[in-house]
Amino acid sequence: MSSRVCAGAVALLLLLSAVTGRAAVRSVLFIGNSFTFAAGSAVRFYRADIVADLNGQGQGGVPALFRSFANQAGLDYDVSLETQPGSGLEFHLANKRDLIAGRPWDTVVMHGQSTLDFDKPGNPAKLVETSAQMATLLRRVNPRVEIYLLSTWSRADQTYTPAGAWAGKPIEAMARDVRSAYDLAAARIAAKAILPVGEAWSRAMQTGVADPNPYDGVEAGKLDLWTSDHYHASIAGSYLEALVVFGGLTGRDPRSLGDAECSAFELGLTRAHAKALQQVASEQLASSGATLASGNAPAASAATPQRCEARPRAR
């Protein structure tokens, strides 16, 4: 290529940059199920206008929380979600392949069914195989896509009821088994990282932030991370999930959002609870090897937050 052509190309890029006024926004796709769209709590339809639900169901969920956090940190992402309740990655591969492969995503966050396999709870084989198939599909469209696997949490209904696959075991056991499966899947696909959501839930219980057993009541001052079915995440559980995603994807310390973080305020979490959950997420990410930048932490005496601001996504 001649120097004249190169100079012309550079000039064109500079012109486009001047016209847009900002760098290209990084795209993020969440592939998952009700653990992503937050079934059973107010998070499900929270600020759905700032994300794109590819299935047209108008859901915000954890993706909307992530974008709200990023916006408050001065970051912008083009966030989309493709979800199906009660499903693993095999559903998306069989039914949503063209939708998922419709654009070259920069970043993908994905997870499988909560017990790993409906027919063989705790067996990692299906997660490992379907993660590999999904990674192949995504990299066919964008070889440089960054894939994050989200390791999900222990279910109280699978631990404390006699019919549960983890019945009689400590509440942390299911999250440990699930994480082991995601370790295998991550190695198979060379994932960018595992987002340790299940371990963050366990840490919240171990440190006294959350109650470990909702069946015997919730201790005063502690959070119930599950919603009423003791299966899906409550507002607090989804908030913690989104904090881990935020820290993992952006490299920002979740504590930099501060206790006056506006999504917590809008969803009814107290400032003390927001601060405690941010601390748990930060500690778990650091324990898992993440390098976090502190950013500019708001002052502890910040005024009551106003409505979160984020540009709606074009439809």
The answer to whether residue 116 is domain-embedded is yes
pLDDT on residue 24: 82
Could you tell me if residue 120 is inside a domain?
yes
Examine residue 10 and state whether it is found in any structural domain, yes or no: no
56 falls within a domain: yes
Per-residue pLDDT of the chain (315 residues; tens, 9 = 90+): 444 433 343 333 333 333 344 458 999 999 999 999 999 999 999 999 999 999 999 999 999 999 999 999 999 999 999 999 999 999 999 999 999 999 999 999 999 999 999 999 999 999 999 999 999 999 999 999 999 999 999 999 999 999 999 999 999 999 999 999 999 999 999 999 999 999 999 999 999 999 999 999 999 999 999 999 999 999 999 999 999 999 999 999 999 999 999 999 999 999 999 999 999 999 999 999 888 888 754 544 455 565 677 777 655
In this structure, is residue 203 part of a structural domain? yes
Helix/strand/coil (H, E, C) string of the chain? Answer: CCHHHHHHHHHHHHHHHHHHCCCCCEEEEEEECHHHHCCCCCCCCCCHHHCEECCCCCCCHHHHHHHHHHHHCCCCEEEEEEECCCCCHHHHHHHCHHHHCCCCCCEEEECCCCCCCCCCCCCCHHHHHHHHHHHHHHHHHCCCCEEEEECCCCCHHHHCCCCCCCCCCCCHHHHHHHHHHHHHHHHHHCCCEEECHHHHHHHHHHCCCECCCHHHCCCCCCECCECCCCCCECHHHHHHHHHHHHHHHHCECHHHHCCCCHHHHHHCCCHHHHHHHHHHHHHHHHHCCCCCECCCCCCCCCCCCCCCCCCCCCC
Q: Is residue 16 part of a domain?
A: no
Contacts of 204 (CB under 8 A, 6+ apart): 210, 223, 225, 240, 276, 277, 280
Q: Are 110 and 30 in contact (CB under 8 A)?
A: yes
pLDDT value of position 127? 98
Cα 109 to Cα 252: distance, rounded to the nearest angstrom:
17
Q: What pLDDT does 309 receive?
A: 74
Decide if 314 is inside a domain.
no
What is the pLDDT at residue 315? 52
Q: What is the pLDDT of residue 13?
A: 37
Is-contact 157 230, C-beta < 8 A? Answer: yes
Given this model, what pLDDT does residue 3 score?
40
* Domain assignment of residue 261, yes or no: yes
Domain count, the chain: 1
Domain that holds residue 171: 22-287
CATH number at residue 108: 3.40.50.1110
* pLDDT at residue 117, rounded to an integer: 97
